[in-house]
Amino acid sequence: MKLSVIPLVLLLSACGGAAAPSAAPASSAPAAASAKPAASAAASTGASAKPAASGKPAASGESGPQVTTQQIAPAKPGSINLALVGGSPSATPLYVALENGIFDKYNVPVNLVIMTAPPAMASLLSGEVQVGMDGGALVSADVTAQKLTFAAALQNSFNQFVAYAKPDLKSLSDLKGKTLAVGTPASAATIAFELMVKSAGLDPKTDVKWIYAGTPAAEWAALQSGQVDGATLVWPFDLQAKAAGFNVVGDGKQMKLAGASLTVGINRDWAKANGSVLQNFLKGVTEADYIANTDKAKAEAAVSKRLNVTDQAQLDAAFERFAGTYPVPPYITSDAVAEAIRDDPNPANKSRKPEDFIDNTALDALVASGFTKQFEKS
């Protein structure tokens, strides 16, 4: 299976949301059109949006992996091909595990492939990859809930999203009648901002106007250039907005917005035939979650290496935002899956319940064995 190269800005926008077309609805067409220059501006002015050259240290602020163009080789027995959708500090445990040989420690070698959501889910269905780390795209990829399932999660809330607005706007309620930039329809960035707007008593369908900028870099460029009044931003663009004097009007972490932000999806048939491999993999995830929560040096070193970031302020901000947010044991919550179902546009999913998409068999067995206790808070 061949994959095209896609820059980091698209990868970041893909992570954590259901796959959806990037075209805006007709009512948003004029605004969406105005966002196109913003995307260009981001490409020309936002150094942190540029993928670093492979194998070379990045300049301060340059970050991120690229979608692989290699053909995915079949996984060897006992090993795992893992498709990661996106590349951001929310995946710190995965980076920690890879950089510190944790999966090898538990005899389950992992081959990481960076992909976008649609091919990642297709590869999970076909068996080319055994584990997919994404947001809630799994519920859209398998509306039957018979082929794919969530086995764990690294993030059960939209901790990565911060809503910034122009300096004269002080709160979410001030956004009434304003124009806001988000990612794509049904993306995690869009869902998170809609939840924030609802929390202020506003109707996201009638009280605000949306433009679908497509990428975090384009959202930031649209806000910076004055084309929009507010935007949901992720690291490192939120740091740039703060430095530029824009106001924080909503923070997904502080607001505890439940959502399928970074999940561990598996193929049910593979899991049945490879229960011990899955358990060994979850051992690695559990230990890596613990390290990402507690060991700043290891967490930052892994993010620096995997995302090609050398700016210490960015690394510190990433650790501060995500440390303590990784679940140990790494259970996915019903609330997170309920959000994914609720916001999936496919009507076939409206009758589904969270438990239809969750299989805790492997993780329950790991907990029952006593393995996870050593990493839990005393």
Please list the pLDDT of the chain residue by residue as tens digits (378 residues). 333 333 333 334 334 333 332 333 333 333 333 333 333 333 322 323 222 222 222 333 334 555 544 578 888 999 999 999 888 999 999 999 999 999 999 999 999 999 888 899 999 999 999 999 999 999 999 989 999 999 999 999 999 999 999 999 999 999 999 999 998 887 888 989 999 999 999 999 999 999 999 888 999 999 999 999 999 999 999 999 999 999 999 999 999 999 999 999 999 999 999 999 999 999 999 999 999 999 999 999 999 999 999 999 999 999 999 999 999 999 999 999 999 999 888 888 889 999 999 999 999 999 999 999 999 874
pLDDT at site 184? 82
C-beta separation of 259 from 340 below 8 A: yes
* N-terminal to C-terminal alpha carbon distance within the chain: 46
CATH-assigned architecture of domain 80-158+259-375:
3-Layer(aba) Sandwich (3.40)
Angle at CA of residue 90, ends 354 and 193, nearest 5° = 65
pLDDT at site 63? 44
Give the SS3 label for residue 283: helix
Query: In CATH terms, is domain 21-51+160-255 a member of 3.40.50.720?
Result: no
Enumerate helices (H) and strands (E) in the chain, giving the number of each: 16, 10
Of 286, 285, 315, 316, which Cα lies nearest the Cα of 303? 315
Q: 51-88: b or e for each residue (b if 16 or more CB lie within 10 Å)? A: bbeeeeebeebbbbbbbbeeebeebeeebbbbbbbbbb
Taking residue 203's Cβ as centre, other Cβ atoms within 10 Å add up to 11
Positions of CATH 3.40.190.10 in the chain: 21-51+160-255, 80-158+259-375
Angle at CA of residue 191, ends 85 and 16, nearest 5° = 15
pLDDT at site 72? 85
What are the CA-CA distances from residue 50 to residues 57, 70, 112, 125, 238 (Å)? 13, 21, 21, 31, 16
